Amino acid sequence: MKKILSVLLAVLLIMLMSLPAFADNILIGSGALGNKQLLTDENKVLSDSEYTQLSGKMQELSSRYSFDFCVAFVDGIDGDIMTYTDNYFLNHGFGQGDALDGCLLLVDFDSREYWLSTSGFGVTAFTDYGINVIKERFGSLLSEGDYYSAVDMYLSTAEQYVSQAKQGLPYDVDNEFPGYPAEQYGNASSHNTVKGIAISLLVALAIAAIVVFSVKKSYKEIQFQHSAANYLDDGSLSLTNSYDRFLYTTISKTKRESESRSSGGSSTHSTSGHSFGGGGGKF
């Protein structure tokens, strides 16, 4: 009996001695961040040291701002990259607080596409203008294969966005990111629309010119006549009386709507019942 008690006391003593370390693990693995893997590198494009540095930076930023900064390198996706990235964000438990504040940059090496999904406060911090700036800043680094610098650039820029937005002044067309004018990065969709209209007009003019030329060519050439007498039959017109009578005037007015202008902000969409912002491209 004494031996049994001695063994139990020894086991209890060992458990008590390991309790502080166990408590530390609980604190690290719970709370806002939990056991989330904020950086995924399926393609092993990062060295071990690069992975450790970037992962540590993401953990530190996510903890400091109560906002998940996430990156995933994958090789092949199902469906379109926007929906895939949104669902990846949800399925991996990313986002802090009730609104799931966070952002996820997903890079697919199979399709050579990337997408940045923003959630909760991320929609406020990452405006359409801001996303265009991020694409410009790190897109070329992705194309060059400098993945560590690309992610580091993304995280540094994303931190500035979140910090600025928490002060109530997110980077947008009326609050430009230094060195990136709103005229160039403010509304890519409007530039594409204008370009599309211009191309459509040119095509329409070309078609109209071809039709007019074809019709003109089908008519026989007619020499210019100085009077209409040659086109009248003698005695076919007899004018005995003429007068002018004014009846009435009608004036029609139509209100001219002023052209709407983009005021910035973030475009949103819904995936799996959750609202996301975002944008992407190819590399």
Domain locations in the chain as residue ranges: 31-188+274-282
- Look at residue 237 in the predicted model and tell me its pLDDT: 59
Name residue 214's amino acid: S
CATH classification code of 31-188+274-282: 3.10.310.50
The β-bridge relationship of strands 274-282 and 113-119 is antiparallel
Alpha-carbon distance of 264 to 267, in angstroms, equals: 9
The backbone torsions φ and ψ at residue 259, rounded to the nearest 5 degrees and listed phi first, read -70, 130
Give pLDDT < 50 ranges for the chain: 7, 11-14, 16-31, 188-200, 203, 249, 251-262
- Look at residue 192 in the predicted model and tell me its pLDDT: 41
Tens digit of pLDDT for each residue in 217-240?
A: 665 555 656 666 666 566 665 666
- Look at residue 216 in the predicted model and tell me its pLDDT: 60
Inter-CA distances, 120 with 27, 131, 278, 279, Å: 25, 15, 12, 15
- Look at residue 244 in the predicted model and tell me its pLDDT: 57
The whole-model pTM stands at 0.64
Report residue 185 CA to chain centroid gap: 12
Biggest alpha carbon–alpha carbon distance for the chain: 144
Assign 22 to helix, strand or coil. Answer: helix
Inter-CA distances, 193 with 53, 149, 196, Å: 42, 33, 5
